[in-house]
Amino acid sequence: MRAPHENSDLRYVRHTSAGAEYVRQINAQESDRRTRGAFRDLVLKIAPPGARLFDFGAGPGIDARFFAERGFRVDAYDIDPVMREYFVDHCHDFIDSGHVGLVNGSSREFVTSDGAGPRGRADVVISNFAPLNLVDDLHELFGKFAALTGAQGKVLASVLNPCYSGEMRTRWWWRRVPRLWRDGQLFLPGPQAPHYRRLLEHFGSAAAPEFRLTRVYRGLPSPCGAHLNGIELPDGVRLAWLQLLRYRFIFLLFEKRPRP
């Protein structure tokens, strides 16, 4: 299933907050702050010190600045021009010093451009707060991620859980779930922005052949740090859903397949 034919950048941008308003909204709820913290903890565990990161769907640069402050070299991209303007202002000192770079252009220009990011090939592509749920063609995007990363490259993505227990109590979820199980994905018109909900198996297929989905993580921190362990895939797919029901966001780790 694909979204209606329309300029995809405009379709998503005009439904979402941007810049300072986005920063206010994303920091307003404790659950969102904890989710961001859990994702950052996982990046710090997965990425080696001083690694190159590529922040896809970077928004206003909150995460890019966080990781640059901790010694990472960060390149970033977001489709929203307002977000990119805020990003430049928010990260201006790290941009001036060469520790952060921003890629401009439309989503079509981004996925069809050649080569790696401004600082070379990334060790890890990060994507926080569900940018992948806004993308029509994941297979094409993972092809771009393959070009952005080195031989041992990884992708760590925060995505919306299609089987979140908070939504399973609603009628709309039960009306749509047969289509979700049949197609592996479901396109929803809103209310904040049109987006997809996708099963783990669909993400795994879309990432192939360049990447394989290896682990899935809970989208909130736990006192004992269990959220950093994750659930190994693909053998644990069915078990994973049972452990992930109460999390609105889940984190997916993709690892690059070795070349034959």
Instruction: Walk along the chain (260 residues) in steps of 10 and give the mean pLDDT of each run.
Output: 41 54 70 92 96 96 97 96 93 97 93 82 96 95 96 97 92 92 89 85 95 94 76 72 89 90
Please tell me whether the overall predicted TM-score, pTM, comes out greater than 0.85 for this model: yes
CA distance 116 to 108: 16
What's the pLDDT at 231?
Answer: 87
What's the pLDDT at 42?
Answer: 96
Cβ contact 211:255 at 8 Å: yes
Pairing of strands 52-56, 73-77: parallel
What's the pLDDT at 28?
Answer: 65
CA distance 170 to 106: 36
Which alpha helices (H) appear in the chain, and where do they start and end? 8-13, 19-26, 30-46, 62-69, 81-90, 92-97, 107-112, 138-148, 165-168, 171-183, 200-207, 237-244
Residue 3 lies in a domain: no
Q: Which domain holds residue 162?
A: 8-256
Q: Say which CATH number the domain at 107 has.
A: 3.40.50.150
Residue 197 lies in a domain: yes
- The structure tokens 């070349």 sit at 259
Q: Give the count of domains, the chain.
A: 1
What's the pLDDT at 161?
Answer: 95
What's the pLDDT at 215?
Answer: 94
Residue 2 lies in a domain: no
What's the pLDDT at 1?
Answer: 31
Residue 78 lies in a domain: yes
Residue 247's SS3 state is coil
Residue 186 lies in a domain: yes
Residue 15 lies in a domain: yes
Residue 229 lies in a domain: yes
Which alpha helices (H) appear in 170-245, and where do they start and end? 171-183, 200-207, 237-244
Residue 155 lies in a domain: yes
What's the pLDDT at 8?
Answer: 52
Measure the CA angle with vertex 125, ends 56 and 51; round to 5°.
Answer: 125
